[in-house]
Amino acid sequence: MARRIVLRSEEDPDRPQPEDLTIDYAADLNEQQYAAATAGDGPLLIVAGAGTGKTRTLIYRLAYLVETGTRPGQIVLLTFTRRAAHDMTARATQLLDGRCEKVQGGTFHAFCLQVLRRHAPALNLPRNFTVLDAADAADVLSVLRARGDYTRGEERFPQKRTLYNMFSAATNRDEALHEVLARRYPQFKSHYNALKQLQSAYRRYKQTHGLLDFDDLLERTLELFEADDDIRQQVAGRCKHVLVDEYQDTNALQAALVKQFASVHGNVTVVGDDAQSIYRFRGADFRNIFRFPDEYPNAEVLKLEKNYRSTQPILNLANHVIEQADRSYDKELFTDQAEGDLPALVPAADGEMEARFVAQMVLRLRESGVPLRDLAVLFRSSHNAYDVEVELNRRNIPFVKYGGMKLNEAAHIKDVLAHLKVAENPQDAASWNRILQLIHGIGPKTAQDLIDWATEDADDPFVPGDGLPFSSRYVGTLKELLGTLRSIRDPDRPVAEQVETVLDYYQPLFEEEYAEDHPKRAPDLDHLAGLAANYESRQRFLESLALDPIELTALEQEEAEDDEPPLTLSTIHSAKGLEFHTVFLIRALDGTLPSRHALREDGGTDEELRLFYVACTRAEENLFISYPMTQYRRSFGEYMTDPSRFVDDIPEDVLEPVQLVEEDAPDPDDAVEAPDAPPPLPSGNDADASDTDEAAADADAPDDGLPF
DNA sequence: TCGGAGCTACTTTTT
DNA sequence: GTAGCTCCGA
């Protein structure tokens, strides 16, 4: 079956007419969605509440644009995660028999990176510049801080991570450093001059060594367009249509970029929901979405209001929640699915009991026919899930945790990657610093001397030159290092082979550095080697890891090769855009959700409220909001907690309080019952379970003999 | 100049 | 429970 290839000019008079379309848009979509998907050219704002088929609409719009003659390669789809971009193009591709595959897109960062690689020389950047992830950037700042001797004063100087956040906030919000200090870091105001110096030192350092952090990817792309109008026209010329998902989470920089991308053709479609803006800490401003009609005066504004995801009781709670926010604009979610259980509010004695509740409900739901992958446990911050992880592991329930430790954040993985980065960009002083200090006998000072030599004086940094003060303490290992780098410098060598070469060299250093726990870390190194095999070049491999970090638990899960797709554990942030049959929102405590840090800031409470709203609206059928009544902290001992202020005043006919009851003997029938009404919990043998936890757990676990 | 011992102060969310 | 700092001996 030969494929037909039709070449069309942009002004093709024969472009397909609506009657030629292969998809019946009107039948597949509701009226509002149809209007949005098939809207004409020009700026378009789609305001879409949670679960209203926003993604579906965007996919159909993608298909529609392609069907009506826009070449896929001229469409740019910008999303917040790479996963979202993949999902969408894959679904559109399926819809349109493969024609959407060539759509450009991904995250803002990834798209900008492509542009920058192509036009690096115009910014006086080497083409092989290195992308710094947040931790790399913090490391650079740490080195500069030590060098500048800024820490000498009596007053506490910001930590490296804080420094990075500070400078990043300034960039993303387009604010001056003193404004950021005044607003978010008043305690460091006295260091203003030092910080200002450090900020420019950081900027210079990145420029000299060919390094770009996440913010630079956006900022320098903008700079590129402003500096060179030909390039702007060239890039924007290829953006016939720009589609932006989650527009409420764009910041000033990203909004400016969208404007540039659309500056030639003027076709922008943005989709968003002000009530779901949850990236304020990254400079997002939910008001961006209201400004869209001002920025694009002829913009069409369409709304999606009908919810297809959740039952009415869940929407009632969501509506009730978002009403408490100061600045939500009028929008009530409604659905035809009037029937459904009330969302449940579940206090547990402590965190472990909360975890047992979740684990048992998960098993019960699974037995009643809901697959694990349709269940999710959501939480404010990563460590909130600790008890649940322990409990799930104990019961061998497979899960993937999003928002936890990433593969490339593990120190030993960073070690290996730093070698590859140096091979890729020998000017990358930050990575040099890391790999040199791994060698016993080399500390900050020696590393600095060697870096100066490698990045400035050396003809070839991988060949030991004359006159270098190689102390006998480390000269052997250092020569070995240079030899390793020489043998992987050829970028055409298969990436997996390069990783293996580095691992051979790294192994003894690894075992020494992580003397206590290297056996636990070793599997990660194998994972890394396995992963490398999927990439066609070292550069691709490195930037993919930086821009699209891999969850450690996902790798473990993959290795387990369970045939049953796992349960999802996720931060609320990482769960954005996803939906699940049943959602457990755990640790609904004041100080956790809302987070105590957010409460200190202006507008922080509302942001937390929106976060809570996002969590609730992920649920289709069941929503359990739980919290422990006591917690333990080393410094305090055991103390009473406060339930989240967001659940405090909700009427019982909207959010139903449920009491957990520990039964003496579990009723085996209970285990197979679907949770029509939130049932009492058949838990341990003993209400006072702390000592008898093991026994209780064995007795109550209805999962013995389950196939995982 | 390096690195180990021992102390402190933390711990939000992500590209 | 730990990252990150200071101090001090080698």
The whole-number Å distance from A197's CA to B8's C1' is 27
Instruction: Give the per-residue pLDDT at A564.
Output: 81
* Measured distance CA(A535)–CA(A541) in Å, rounded: 6
CA-CA distance, A511 to A517, in Å (whole number)? 9
Which nucleotide shows the minimum CA-to-C1' distance to residue A517? Answer: C2
| Closest by Cα among A551, A625, A585 to A399 | A551
Q: What is the pLDDT of residue A484?
A: 93
Distance A599 CA to C5 C1' (A): 29
Q: How far is the CA of A205 from the C1' of C7 (A)?
A: 30
∠ Cα A79 A83 A87 (to 5°): 90
3-state per-residue secondary structure call for A55-122: HHHHHHHHHHHHHCCCCHHHEEEEECCHHHHHHHHHHHHHHCCCCCCCCEEEEHHHHHHHHHHHHHHH
Number of H helices, E strands in chain A: 28, 17
Residue A299 CA: distances (Å) to CA of A46, A48, A296: 10, 16, 5
Tell me which protein residue sits closest to nucleotide C3, measuring alpha carbon to C1': A159
**Centroid of chain to Cα A536:** 24
Quickly count: other Cβ atoms within 10 Å of residue A485's Cβ.
23
Q: Shortest CA–C1' contact from A597: which nucleotide?
A: B12
The pLDDT tens digits of the residues spanning A462-484 come to: 888 766 767 778 888 888 999 99
* Contact by Cβ (8 Å): A76, A111: yes
* pTM, 2 dp: 0.85
Which of chain B's bases lie under 7 Å from a protein CB? 1-3, 10-15
Chain C bases having any atom below 7 Å from a protein CB = 1, 4-6
CA A259 to CA A482: how far, in whole Å? Answer: 46
Distance CA A407, CA A349 (A): 34
Distance A197 CA to B11 C1' (A): 28
pLDDT at site A329 = 57
pLDDT of residue A681: 43
Question: Count of CB atoms within 10 A of residue A581's CB?
Answer: 15
- Cβ atoms of residues A392 and A566 within 8 Å: no
ω into A594 cis (within 30 of 0): yes
Instruction: Calculate the angstrom distance between C1' of B6 and CA of A461.
Output: 38
Find the residue closest to B13 using CA and C1' atoms: A573
Q: How far apart are CA A231 and CA A207, in angstroms?
A: 21
The C-alpha angle with vertex A550 and arms to A545 and A556, in degrees rounded to 5, equals: 140
* CA to C1' distance (Å), from A331 to C1: 45
Contact between A473 and A403 (Cβ < 8 Å): no
Nucleotide nearest to A184 (CA to C1'): B12
The answer to whether the CB of A283 falls within 8 A of the CB of A259 is no
Neighbours of A635 (CB within 10 A): 4
Q: Which residues of A are catalytic?
A: 54-55, 245-246, 276, 618
Distance from CA(A594) to C1'(B12), angstroms, rounded: 10
CA of A200 to C1' of C9 (A): 38
DSSP string of A117-165, one letter each residue: HHHGGGGT--TTPEEE-HHHHHHHHHHHHHHHTGGGSSSPPPPHHHHHH
Q: Which residue is nearest to nucleotide C1 (CA to C1')?
A: A634
Cβ neighbours of residue A670 closer than 8 Å, sequence gap 6 or more: A364, A679, A682
Beta-sheet pairing, A637-640 with A656-657? unpaired
Q: What are the Cα distances from residue A127, in Å, to A114, A210, A261, A459, A485?
A: 11, 9, 22, 20, 20
Q: Where are the alpha helices (DSSP H) in A336-494?
A: 351-367, 386-394, 411-424, 429-437, 444-452, 475-488
CA at A512, C1' at B6: how many angstroms apart?
A: 21
Q: Among residues A435, A431, A425, A411, which one has the least CA distance to residue A539?
A: A425
Protein residues with Cβ atoms closer than 7 angstroms to any atom of nucleic acid strand C: A 138, 142, 151, 159-161, 634
Q: Which two tokens stand for residue A237?
A: 């010329």
Please give, one letter per residue, the 3-state secondary structure of A216-229.
Answer: HHHHHHHHHHHHCH
Closest residue to B12 (CA to C1') is: A381
Token pair for A415 = 């070690």
- CA–CA separation, A434 and A414 (whole Å): 9
- Nucleotide closest to residue A151 (CA–C1'): C5
Number of Cβ atoms within 10 Å of the Cβ of A106:
23
* Torsion over CA: A167, A163, A587, A521 (sign): positive
Q: Give the 3-state secondary structure of A240-288.
A: CEEEECCHHHCEHHHHHHHHHHCCCCCCEEEEECHHHCCCHHHCECCCH
Which protein residues have their Cβ less than 7 angstroms from some atom of strand B? A 80-82, 107-110, 133-134, 159, 162, 165, 214, 278-279, 281-282, 380-383, 402-403, 437, 440-447, 547-549, 571, 573-574, 595, 597-598, 601, 634-635
pLDDT < 70 regions, chain A: 1-20, 148-155, 326-331, 466-467, 469, 559-562, 634-636, 663-708
Q: How far is the CA of A433 from the C1' of C10 (A)?
A: 24
Element (H, E) at A626: strand A619-628
